[in-house]
Amino acid sequence: MDGRCVRLRQDGSLLHYSGADESFVRHYLALDLDLDRVLAAIDRDPVMGAAISCCRGLRVVRQPLFECLLSYLCATNTNIPAVRHRVEALASRYGEPVTGEGEIHAFPSSNALLGATEDDLRACRLGYRARFARTAIATVLADAEWETAVPLLSHDEARARLLDLPGIGPKAADCVLLYALGHLDAFPIDVWIRRILARHYRVELEDGPLSPSLYEAARAFGRDRFGPYAGYAQVYLYGARALLCRA
């Protein structure tokens, strides 16, 4: 996280941490956000109430923009273990070693990836995603203000800038909006969220492949129903997917 190796352990309501100071941990984990107020704002029906009861305590972390962007480029059409391996390979090859942490490396900055070719990125297990990652890296490096300008944009403007990047689709853009840019009204749609919405809210969302128009309909529904903290609603619905999709 931000060039640090942070270790966390929770005992009841007590959080133990090392590798960073309190202000960093509070910011990264969004501990300065009034979670009770957020949950009260999204607790609008029995389905969300059940999700909150199942997962109370979940928070939306605040990731660095470039790290989040490149991680979601690594995450297209794959599973979590594969994403972890790709991120670790990028860090191991291009990231700075974390002092005192042995073989652990920080996630590389955009500048650290300046000379990485598409073949180099393929060697980090990115596969076809290497072409998209190379373009994203080049785009960020070509505009010295990209990483500072995008966080200042409105939700729709930032989303448009993200969607301009090859390989960044609507779901990845919405995830970056939520986890890196602080747009807590973003509502990413994946197979689980679509299934939950179709089962409990909008049965018509169940029909056919998740086309762009269906994605936008599902995203709009989530944002309209849960308001400025729709992203938290999404996180809690996803966290309770086993309960909410139980046969």
Q: Point out the residues that are catalytic.
A: 171
> Contact 85/70 with Cβ under 8 angstroms?
no
Buried b (16+ CB within 10 A) or exposed e, 124-141: bbbeebbebbbbbbebbe
Following DSSP, what letter does each residue of 199-232 receive, concatenated?
Answer: HHT-GGGGSSS--HHHHHHHHHHHHHHHGGGHHH
Token digits of residue 7: 């270790």
Q: Exposed/middle/buried for 71, CB within 10 Å: 0-12, 13-18, 19+?
A: buried
> Can you tell me the distance from the alpha carbon of 6 to that of 242, in angstroms, rounded to the nearest whole number?
30
> Can you tell me the distance from the alpha carbon of 234 to that of 38, in angstroms, rounded to the nearest whole number?
13
Reported in sequence order, the residue ranges of the chain that DSSP labels E, i.e. its strands, are 7-11, 14-18
